[in-house]
């Protein structure tokens, strides 16, 4: 590694650190909880849809075949 590259990384980290730690922990936790809740909701919806599709596939069709 070259010292110029390390200096650039250090500058980038020092520039971005305040933004990373600017958000209070409680607000960050609320955002994470909301994201997790949305993901669980989507998982539940997908399970319901999958179960429905499995049931439809299991029911034989009463159509006559040519």
Question: Which pLDDT band, with edges at 50, 70 and 90, does 66 fall under?
Answer: low
Q: How far apart are CA 36 and CA 30, in angstroms?
A: 10
CA-based nearest residue to 16, from 5, 24, 8, 28: 8
CB crowding 44-65: b at 16 or more within 10 Å, else e = eeeeeeeeeeeeeeeeeeeeee
> The whole model's pTM is what?
0.49
Average pLDDT over residues 7-30: 80
Q: How far apart are CA 6 and CA 13, in angstroms?
A: 11
The pLDDT score that the predictor gives to residue 54 is 92
The pLDDT score that the predictor gives to residue 31 is 84
Whether residue 3 is predicted with pLDDT greater than 60 in this model: the reply is yes
Chain segment 34-64, per-residue pLDDT in tens: 999 999 999 999 999 999 999 988 877 666 5
């Amino acid at each position: 590694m070259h010292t110029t590259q390390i200096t650039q990384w250090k500058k980038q980290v020092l520039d971005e650190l305040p933004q990373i730690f600017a958000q209070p922990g409680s607000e960050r936790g609320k955002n994470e909880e909301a994201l997790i809740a949305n993901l669980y909701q989507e998982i539940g919806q997908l399970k319901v849809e999958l179960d429905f599709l499995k049931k439809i596939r299991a029911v034989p069709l009463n159509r006559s075949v040519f």
